[in-house]
Structure 1
Amino acid sequence: MEIDEQHNPALAKVAEMVGDAKFAMLTTKEKDGTLRSRPMATMQLDSEGNLWFFTSLSSPKIEEAQPDQQVNLSYARTDKYDYLSISGAAELVHDKEKMQTLWSPWLKPWFPKGLDDPDLALLKVSIIAVEYWDAPDSATARAYGLVKALVTGDTDALGEHRKLDVNEE
């Protein structure tokens, strides 16, 4: 996965967390309003705050993301108790050069025809808003934060929780 330096300073923490997690759960809305999630391998977070994924044109997520193009991406690092929720706008992209840049041989089981597959496309998600929970790195610091919160009610030592509107930062 490729993580570019972010032009928007608000996305620096997001870039770090996405780079650590690598896989997202992409949530779309079906026609009847039902929410549906599926795992996606993040291929890139570009410098403009766009996340890139490979997809099949025949996948139901393509139709589900089309009407209003609003999607959610959830990332989790359960070993560190770090969580990231990204609201974004999805766009289907047919750019052979970009696909070549992002292609990895480990994608072959899902796309056996490789870059020549007519069903292959890119899904670009432009980040609109973010919410994250970032716990302390060490188990000791997390335990201290929990004890402090239980005793004093002060949850600051449990980690950082922020909501970011990317367009306002």
Structure 2
Amino acid sequence: MDEQQKRIEDLYELVDGIETAMFVTQRGDGQLVSRPMATQKRNPIADLWFVTDVESNKIDELDEHPRINLSYFSTKTYEWVSVSGTATVSTDRATIRELYQPDWKMWFGELDEVRDGGPDDPRLTLVLVTAESVLYMKQEKSKPVVLFELLKGKVTGERPEIGDVKSVTL
């Protein structure tokens, strides 16, 4: 496995372990907006993908400004990922049915016979993110070593050495 492929594998391992991203979009007035969103299971149709309500503000923001940033951080391991890319909105019912997960229902709830949080609910919309560049830090030290480095940094005032930042350009 070459270095680029190893970094891509590290990225997906981190994202799978952290699960929730802060999904950053840009409003029409230029302001950035962040909101937590659960990364869905990986699928060949996009680098990363999410499900949302077609009527949410983020859909309007993505229509105007499709460039996004995703940030992930684990408080357990101090690992983090930052993904810059382009989002594409899809309401393709066949794809939604194919990718549907039962836990989506809790986020949409049942409003009526049609809007029931199931795979045919017209509110369900996919946001497919194509990553263009990624920065991340994957912890390669044991937890006791990381804790020692953090404690040492607090005592000495020196920056703790807890991991190396790596990048992937896709």
What is the rounded CA distance, in whole Å, between the counterparts of 2:103 and 2:45 in structure 1? 26
Q: Tell me by how many angstroms 1:47 deviates.
A: 4.4
**SS class of match (1:72):** strand
Equivalence for 1:24: 21
Deviates more, 1:14-23 or 1:36-45: 36-45
> Which among 49, 52, 58 is matched to residue 52 of structure 1?
49
Equivalence for 2:10: 13
CA contact (8 A) 1:11 1:49 kept: no
What is the rounded CA distance, in whole Å, between the counterparts of 2:63 and 2:15 in structure 1? 24
Equivalence for 2:102: 105
Aligned residues with identical type, % of pairs: 32
What is the rounded CA distance, in whole Å, between the counterparts of 1:93 and 1:49 in structure 2? 11
Deviates more, 1:90-99 or 1:23-32: 90-99
| Structure 2 portions without partners, runs of 5+ | 110-115
What is the rounded CA distance, in whole Å, between the counterparts of 1:48 and 1:160 in structure 2? 30
What is the rounded CA distance, in whole Å, between the counterparts of 1:35 and 1:68 in structure 2? 11
Could you say what the CA RMSD is over the residues aligned between the two structures, in angstroms?
2.4
Equivalence for 1:64: 61
Alpha-carbon distance change, 54 to 154 in structure 1, aligned in 2, over 3 angstroms: closer
Q: Tell me by how many angstroms 1:84 deviates.
A: 0.6
Structure 1 residue runs of 4+, over 6 Å off?
Answer: none
TM-score (norm 1): 0.81
Q: Tell me by how many angstroms 1:52 deviates.
A: 1.2
More strand as a share of residues: 1
Q: Tell me by how many angstroms 1:100 deviates.
A: 2.1
What is the rounded CA distance, in whole Å, between the counterparts of 1:98 and 1:56 in structure 2? 15
Alpha-carbon distance change, 122 to 97 in structure 1, aligned in 2, over 3 angstroms: same
TM-score (norm 2): 0.81
What is the rounded CA distance, in whole Å, between the counterparts of 2:12 and 2:168 in structure 1? 13
Question: Match of 2:74, as an amino acid?
Answer: R
Q: Tell me by how many angstroms 1:90 deviates.
A: 0.4
What is the rounded CA distance, in whole Å, between the counterparts of 1:48 and 1:13 in structure 2? 20
Give the number of equivalent residue pairs: 157
Equivalence for 1:118: 122
Could you report, residue by residue, the CA deviation over 1:91-112 in whole angstroms, capped at 9, with x for unpaired residues?
0112223222322222112223
| Structure 1 portions without partners, runs of 5+ | 1-7
